[in-house]
Structures are given as C-alpha cells and as structure tokens.
Structure 1
C-alpha cells in the first residue's frame, strides 16, 4: 500500500506505517487538516516545530516548505487521516457564505486544533471511506466532506476565517533569509520564486544581488558545503544526509561531492 493512500483523489488521504519515516515534503501547496489516529506526527518548518499524539488535530497552512516525521510508538502503529482543503473549494465556500477577507493572514502558519466532539465525529464519518479504499467514491462526495470540515473548523475557531480564506498571493519576503533557511528543499527555482513573492525574472535578479551567483549554482554549492560539514564535523554518512540536502539520488550526490571536493564522501570519514 502506498503511503499516503489517496482515498478520494486530491481530497482525502490515509497514511499507515509500522516503522518510522521521515519525509521532506517540500512545497505544501494547500491548506491541510490532519487527524493523528495513532503514533506521533512531527512537522518542522523554518519557523515552527509541532508534534502531536493520538487524537490531536493540526491545520497546516498553504505555501510552506516543511519536513514531516511519522513515528509509530510502542504498541501503537502510525496512522493519520488527511483532508486537503483545496483553494478552489474554499473559494466556492467563501462565495456561498459571502465571506470576504480584507486583510492578509499574519498569524502562525500551522495551528493545533483543540479537540471537540463535532470535529472528532467528523473524522469518524470519514473512516468508512478510509476503511473501504477499493470503493469508487465520486469526487463530489469529497468536496462535501471538505465543506463540512471547513464549517466545523469555523464553528470551533471563528478566527480561522482569515487563515482559510486568504487568497492573496505570497508577498515579497526577505529572499536571503528565506533561502538560507530552506536551501535543502529539492524544489525548482520557479517554486522558490513563487514562495518569495517574485516573478522568476525578479527572483533571479534579486538572488544575484544577494548571493552573487545564479540560484542553481548557489543551491548546489550551499548543499555540498553543508554536506561536507555534516560528514567532517558530525560524522554523518552520505546515505543518511543526501535526501535531507535536496539531492535526488545517492549516486548524484556522491558524483557532485567528488567533483567539488576531489574526494568521494566516504573518503572524508
């Protein structure tokens, strides 16, 4: 079974693991509601680290970079239900409910949701979909579950209106600070540009001013320098760090490392 398993395409997902897995999820494109059924879930972004246990819920904001660690606990496998709150559905809800947000959301990008009977009951109503993944459930049913979930979130925490219905584009942020915090994510330059609130041309121009090199060249160099530091100073193995530093394969990492420093990673130990 794939993890996560797509129960209703693009909307409801289910994840089950009996061994720990660390996922560098990269770009989180949609607001997402997560219920941890069992185990431990940890989300790390540049500005937040949030862990939760059985029965806890987390609302994850869109347009982020992050890493998720999924950990089974003693006598307790890892199990989550994930609801993707896609923007097109949220826009329809905003129109129907005549919700208009004037200001941009400025609060924390990830919010733990206090437990309540209504949201717990909501996730219980999702369980039949999860337990019967072979059933062909129409996408329209998934949209109805998203609508229900959003209304229950607003019932529990009315202040989430700005969080959920902020449809503004990412504003221009400090490019240098952002890249130094997020260089290890394996994303195309176009996505980095979007996340810093710039056109691709503007991003490349501002990047050259800040770092004195084109983005791809700087990213490769920064990742390799960090790899050398981890290998030399922290005694880390190449196989344990290459994914965390944005390389797609161990062979690509080893080849790039040797080309840059003259020796393979294993020769530095």
Structure 2
C-alpha cells in the first residue's frame, strides 16, 4: 500500500468492542473528531471526567494525557468513529485557505460538540471508507478528511484557534504537573514534552526539585497513593493497579510488599 494512502487510512478509524468494557490510557498526539455510535465512553484527564453518550460528537484536543473506559450497551457492542486531524494535514489546509489561530484557545481536552445535521451526514458518508478502504483512492480519502475540517469550522468557527494552533507545549511548573499526572503510565519523554523540556532537561530539573530520579519518584508516588486508597478508601489491588500506572498486578504487588513489608491484599 502506498505510504500516502496508508497515512490517510490511519486518519479514519473505527472502534468496535464486544467485551463488557475496555479500559486504557493514552497520550493524545493529534486532534480527533469523533462520533459515538453505540455505547458509552468515559474519559478522565486527571482533573475532570467526561461521559460521552451514544449519538454525541466530540473533538479531542492533542497533547493531553487521558484515561478511558469503553462501555458497550446491554447486549450490544461499543462503536465509535474518529477522524484524526494530523498536524501535517492542518498545516497544509492552513496554507491553502489562509486559516490561522488568533489566540490560544482555553478549553477542556474534550470538547463536546452540539449535535448538527452536518455531523451526522458526514459520519454516515464514511461507511464505505471502512468497508472498502483498500480500494478507495487516497486523494478521495484526503478530501474526506479536509471535509471534516471545513464542517468543524462552519459549525464552530472558534475552533480555528484550536485546529491551527501549531505551538508546542511551553515550559511549565514541573512539580505541579507531575503531582497531577504521576498515575499516567507513559514514557518519560512524553512527560518531558508536555512540560516543555527535552528529556535531558526534564531529568535534570526533576532531580533538582525531587532529589531523586523520575523513575524512582514515580514508583514511590504511585505506591504511596496505592497505600492510601487501600487503607483509607477500602480499594482492592485489582481496583487500582492500572489506575495508578502499573502495567500488571504481580509487579504492583511485588513493589508494594518490598516498600511496605506486606502484600497489598493484607492491608
């Protein structure tokens, strides 16, 4: 498959799950225009929880850390359709049509959009691109992504300050950011990028503030929170290990016992 067509196919993405629920977390690298076809999506950015119900539309902003839970409807399946608006696509659109951000748009990571007939008809028009993507011309698919941008701008003109803001994260308070986001299981270079630093500068600044390496601090902070949630809130290890950034239960239990001298299940 040609590289250009492969890139476009990755911009139109359909999610479908039959399982009871699916949890996870991610770094949102690109803006995503999405339609919740069936089921419920719960998104948590560490500060606020967003409940996305069936039939709703949203724009998820880039450069954010989020946790999510995908819940299928009773006896049904979770379905969502997303169009990813990459920085390259938006830059080319900006050059061609003269759009540019006039100010930094302050808003939540998830912008819930008011229903509009244009949204529904557009998303329905993407059905063939999921069923016959291998045979649809890449140029035609490019037009569908550009159509999404035009529809967003026509229905919500203020979104130009979101879509065409190509600035990278500026240098921010590292201590406050880490205390808010320690429970996200992402690589250190993601934390560095979101705090406006190179990886080397992030590690250097981190040790000046916390007097320990980022990896050691993250494990200690997560275990500290785990101990509090188990002892004071009555949570079980299986309730919290993923929520706190541990990849598996056995690793969490081993680290907890090594730190506190007792298995988390015995607290």
Normalised by the length of structure 1, the TM-score is 0.89
2:64 equivalent in structure 1: 64
Contact 1:27 1:63 in 2 (8 A): yes
**CA distance in 1 between partners of 2:185 and 2:86 (Å):** 23
3-state SS, counterpart of residue 81 of structure 2? strand
Aligned length: 262
1:231 equivalent in structure 2: 230
1:3 equivalent in structure 2: none
What aligned pairs does 1:55-134 form with structure 2 within 5 A after superposition?
55-74=55-74, 77-130=77-130, 132=131
Deviation, 1:92, is 0.7
Contact 1:11 1:142 in 2 (8 A): no
Gaps of at least 5 residues in structure 2 are 1-5
2:220 equivalent in structure 1: 221
3-state SS, counterpart of residue 259 of structure 2? helix
What aligned pairs does 1:113-262 form with structure 2 within 5 A after superposition?
113-130=113-130, 132=131, 135-262=134-261
RMSD: 2.2
3-state SS, counterpart of residue 54 of structure 2? coil
Q: Deviations over 1:17-64 (max 9, x none)?
A: 344424332211110111011221221113332212221101000000
Label 1:142 to 1:182 Cα distance change in 2 as closer, same or farther (>3 A).
Answer: farther
Normalised by the length of structure 2, the TM-score is 0.89
Deviation, 1:75, is 5.6
Label 1:178 to 1:126 Cα distance change in 2 as closer, same or farther (>3 A).
Answer: same
Label 1:7 to 1:104 Cα distance change in 2 as closer, same or farther (>3 A).
Answer: closer
3-state SS, counterpart of residue 147 of structure 1? helix
Contact 2:8 2:142 in 1 (8 A): no
**CA distance in 1 between partners of 2:7 and 2:41 (Å):** 20
- Considering fraction of residues, name the structure with more helix: 2
Contact 2:34 2:82 in 1 (8 A): yes
**CA distance in 1 between partners of 2:209 and 2:32 (Å):** 33
Deviation, 1:108, is 3.0
**CA distance in 2 between partners of 1:197 and 1:74 (Å):** 43
1:24 aligns with 2:17: no
Q: Deviations over 1:68-125 (max 9, x none)?
A: 1212234653211111111111111111112233433333332111111111110010
**CA distance in 2 between partners of 1:257 and 1:133 (Å):** 50
Gaps of at least 5 residues in structure 1 are 1-5
**CA distance in 1 between partners of 2:179 and 2:162 (Å):** 26
**CA distance in 2 between partners of 1:138 and 1:229 (Å):** 55
**CA distance in 2 between partners of 1:111 and 1:180 (Å):** 25
Deviation, 1:180, is 1.2
Deviation, 1:213, is 1.8
Contact 2:174 2:206 in 1 (8 A): yes
2:3 equivalent in structure 1: none
**CA distance in 1 between partners of 2:263 and 2:132 (Å):** 45
Contact 1:45 1:64 in 2 (8 A): yes
Label 1:38 to 1:201 Cα distance change in 2 as closer, same or farther (>3 A).
Answer: same
**CA distance in 2 between partners of 1:92 and 1:58 (Å):** 23
Label 1:115 to 1:249 Cα distance change in 2 as closer, same or farther (>3 A).
Answer: same
**CA distance in 2 between partners of 1:89 and 1:205 (Å):** 35
